[in-house]
Amino acid sequence: MKFTVAIDGPAAAGKGTISRAVADHFGFAHLDTGALYRAVGAKGGDPVAAALNLSAADLARPDLRTLEAGQAASRVAVIPEVRAALLDFQRRFAGREGGAVLDGRDIGTVICPEANVKLFVTASAEVRARRRWLELGGETAPRPYAEILAEVRERDDRDMNRADAPLRAADDAVTIDTSDMTIDEAVAAAIARVAARLSARPA
């Protein structure tokens, strides 16, 4: 069975956690497409060459979840040649047998416009910045909340206004705003949507 779930949204909205939970619940494969761009940005050097030569070791780097890697990912993601280099990999993953969940910023709009389910997971910039701040230690974080909020807004602006595949909800995506939701509530909403589409498939 081929069944593709596309989950898009800005940084720290919860899409990664939701995507992994959905994949686990239904036994689908999961791809964090942001990790591809994080790995390209973290490698340094020529980003196009890095995208063409990504290895399993690059995707297993321990520093891919840092804020710095996220900023680097956002910078290289605006390069059309980088996006083209990673496009085929993502589409092959999406079309695999057994179902696939992909999360990123242009999955439902560019990578998998024919996905069976499209979700757009979002939250206010303030809530997302606070989540990042708490992840970094809250009151003991090395950087103040205001600085992290500024970085979140900067990244949103860059992602939403890039010329190639900007961050936006697909016209037929269901939006899940996690600003005032627990992670369990957000996961339940996503699972319910996927389950509804699965049950509606022809026998």
Q: How far, rounded to the nearest angstrom, does the alpha carbon of residue 157 sit from its chain's CA centroid?
A: 16
Place of tokens 């606070």: 130
12 labelled ligand-binding: yes
Closest CA to 90 of 108, 69, 65: 108
Does 16 show up as a binding residue in the annotation? yes
Q: For residue 164, is it left (φ>0), alpha (ψ between -120 and 50) or beta?
A: beta
Cα end-to-end span (Å), the chain:
11
The three-state secondary structure class of 41 is helix
According to the annotation, is 9 in a ligand binding site?
yes
Amino acid at 91: R
Q: Is 113 annotated among the ligand-binding residues?
A: no
Q: Is 13 annotated as a binding residue?
A: yes
Supply φ then ψ for residue 173, to 5 degrees. -85, 150
Q: Is 166 annotated as a binding residue?
A: no
Whether residue 62 is annotated as binding a ligand: the answer is: no
Binding-site sequence positions for ATP: 9-17
Binding-site sequence positions: 9-17
